[in-house]
Chain A
């Protein structure tokens, strides 16, 4: 037995060789004693970050393989992808996995963010972990947008033209920003060159850096323990218990990814989730109706459509971008806005905010897909709004039912506001914005009433 303070005997072999030079024993000790807290909620939420990281790793690996054949250029971009998918052994599989993995990465990232929100894992001292996560979300969207154009096919070309066009709405520098993004006034091969640089150099460098920071924060602070009001925390050893479970889940993800890539190589065929190469882009050809961005941009696309040409003296698209910016800003600042969670008190309002955000996004996405519009090229917007409202409200009801079943605190102000907007727009026939304004005003009044009531309660409680 070693006396206290006595150093363990030096290890032999490769470990000893490295340890003597780099002193890795403290790191190994740290990992050996690292524990993952277990609360009353399901452990599954802890794996989502790892799954996102796994899909990002797949992206890097398949991206490098794609780079071995991809040649950016007006006469080569489309042709090289075509060659890769038709002639190169397993080229089709690499491209298909890259595309599927991109969508699954964003899906798991969004789920990871929502679970963090619901579990309040962003609370002090993990605010910067949340912020780096938010930055990673923005970077992932950037990856999606820049990568979409690279095959230089018809759909990508027009979707990029529509997507970049919204940049005009940025106040003051919109036109300049549009020109910088496009490398000219229109989408051209110059746009592809800069999107290519962004997609394979700039964004990966940033992402690897921010991911490293995010992981360091998580390792340094450990995973967020359940809230005090949750069940008492126990621990699960990170190595090997949690790590092996992580690995098991990654294998399941890989099996799912490979199966999807083989059986649905061009995606599920939903607008915004398809990547069939199709025809080569022709900048002189007229755009065709029904072009939609990728599914995670659909809500912005639909929101832009809901705004009139002019609103309060500014262009409608400017107002829409302003609303999107405010929503993103609120989302990024959640750890500071949620004062209850900072004080380790129950914070059902922000859980409800996350659910309301889901309902809000889901309704816009359904509308963007023209659900209920039939086969018409230009569906009747009233019919679409109505049918989507049924689905939107059903979804809102499901979120409420699930929360009640999980014995979550009955706080539904935000979800109610989102549902009210859907109902006013879809069933009463008010415009989307008018319905939104009424819902926001009622929500503000309700929140003000709650704040006043809670202050009065506090004041009464402190009376001698």
Chain B
């Protein structure tokens, strides 16, 4: 009942005559064509606010910082919750910089950053969605000054380097953000789960070394990845550091040949700018960006984020093992492990590649030209008959399992359409798939006996599947024969009836 009364009270239209006087004036303001500046929708938005919020807006209008009906319309179009609108109504920075009648385009927070002359960095809608704003931290939190100040004061931007320096030398930014973000006690008041070691990690990262030690302002710092005036929680899909947006965020620099000009690999070659394009076509990129598998790695999955560094030969395989642990363990026990160490080859990358990893297929395995085993062994270990035989056995066994699976799967749909029980067949195919994955994984042992042991369940599943197909075909045959027998029986009765009817007809005629 209380809830109902509350609902009715909330649903009751607000009495506009009780609004603060400046707001009433705004409500009656007209455009040049005589239409009201504030639309019916704006009125509804204003009416939905509690009295307290409207009074705060009224006070801002009283002090002329909320300067016009058009200015109020801009604020109402933000569709803010009352608590957020109250922050805006008491923040003179936002009020003053969102008033189109009071600011040049360069300094105006616009709701339409695409508009002519608008500053794209000052998107008002983005700003009121910023994670800092949502937690009560507004302009003065970074820029200095106080939200209640009616005029710009000298302490605004005083905590930053001078304007002519701060845009050319960006090395002040990480330290500036870290003032709050590395202060665990301070951060606990906002988000106790957020780590506070980002700056420490950044200092040791390639980006950090370039920026802080070599004063290379092209290197990424906080703003480069997280943005400005519209920073979202990293879990938000709108965040520039959401896992699915990471490739494009990194690519905004790393895919830009102009930006990356002059950066070199350890061997002195120019740093390529094709990584993101390769990644997007890779099995990981497709899983993350096309299938929406958030568990698939983006750039940061292998390189780290704040501590981003190119993985060295020794560590690259450890990164793969974070997800592909079983294959890593199998490889560790194989004879290839020592061979790769001798050659100083990165383990996984040597066969699978790195940014452009594609889904491995059985075609990689074998002793014929074009297969990975053959091509590598012909170069580094030619003439080893045991290796040739092992690779050939791997391929033969894998091909047999795949062919067996195809044989079993082929008639399943047809059986299902005829209403035959295909559940045992489907189960067998699942068993075969599992065995196939295990068998393919055992390739990483490079050991024939382990491989054959893994392939055995798959071979058994193929035999079982073929037997089930024969059984199902027998059942289908039984049904058809049964139907024919039943039709034959019924046809006999029908023929008897037809003869009887004929006889009756003849008797009547005679």
Interface residues of chain A, those whose CB is within 8 Å of chain B, are: 85-87, 92-93, 96, 240-241, 244-245, 247-248, 251-252, 254-255, 258-259, 262-263, 265-266
B421 within 8 A of A: yes
In angstroms, Cα B498 to Cα A255, docked, is 16
B500 within 8 A of A: yes
Q: Are A96 and B487 in contact (CB under 8 A)?
A: no
Residue in A93, A245, A255, A266 whose beta carbon sits within 8 Å of that of B501 in the complex: A245
Task: List the A residue with the shortest CB-CB distance to B486.
Answer: A258
B493 within 8 A of A: yes
Majority secondary structure of chain A interface residues (helix, strand, loop or mixed): helix
A interface footprint on B470-493 (CB within 8 Å = 1, 0 otherwise): 000000000110110011001101
List B contacts of A252 (CB < 8 A).
494
* Distance from A248 Cβ to chain B, minimum over Cβ atoms (Å): 5
Residue in B423, B480, B487, B497 whose beta carbon sits within 8 Å of that of A248 in the complex: B497
Q: Are A248 and B498 in contact (CB under 8 A)?
A: yes
B418 within 8 A of A: yes
Q: Are B418 and A247 in contact (CB under 8 A)?
A: no
Q: Are B487 and A85 in contact (CB under 8 A)?
A: no
B417 within 8 A of A: yes
Task: List the A residue with the shortest CB-CB distance to B501.
Answer: A244
Majority secondary structure of chain B interface residues (helix, strand, loop or mixed): helix
In angstroms, Cα B497 to Cα A252, docked, is 12
Jot down 19 A-B pairs with beta carbons below 8 A, ordered by A: A93-B479, A240-B500, A240-B504, A241-B504, A244-B497, A247-B497, A248-B501, A251-B491, A251-B497, A252-B494, A254-B490, A255-B490, A255-B494, A258-B483, A259-B483, A262-B480, A262-B483, A263-B418, A266-B419
* Distance from A51 Cβ to chain B, minimum over Cβ atoms (Å): 15
List B contacts of A258 (CB < 8 A).
483, 486-487
In angstroms, Cα B486 to Cα A274, docked, is 25
Task: List the B residue with the shortest CB-CB distance to A254.
Answer: B490
* Distance from A87 Cβ to chain B, minimum over Cβ atoms (Å): 8
Task: List the B residue with the shortest CB-CB distance to A265.
Answer: B419
* Distance from B313 Cβ to chain A, minimum over Cβ atoms (Å): 48
Given contacts A241-B501, A244-B500, A255 and B487 within 8 Å (CB-CB): yes
Given contacts A240-B504, A241-B504, A258-B486, A251 and B418 within 8 Å (CB-CB): no
* Distance from A69 Cβ to chain B, minimum over Cβ atoms (Å): 15
* Distance from A255 Cβ to chain B, minimum over Cβ atoms (Å): 5
In angstroms, Cα B480 to Cα A263, docked, is 8
Given contacts A262-B479, A262-B483, A266-B417, A86 and B491 within 8 Å (CB-CB): no
List A contacts of B480 (CB < 8 A).
262
List B contacts of A266 (CB < 8 A).
417, 419
In angstroms, Cα B487 to Cα A86, docked, is 24
Task: List the B residue with the shortest CB-CB distance to A248.
Answer: B497
In angstroms, Cα B501 to Cα A251, docked, is 15
Give the 3 A-B residue pairs with the shortest CB-CB distance, closest first. Answer: A265-B419, A86-B421, A251-B494
List B contacts of A96 (CB < 8 A).
419
Starting from the known contacts A96-B419, A244-B497, A248-B501, 10 additional A-B residue pairs (CB-CB under 8 Å) come to: A86-B421, A86-B423, A248-B494, A251-B490, A255-B491, A258-B483, A262-B480, A263-B418, A265-B418, A266-B419
In angstroms, Cα B487 to Cα A263, docked, is 13
List A contacts of B501 (CB < 8 A).
241, 244-245, 248
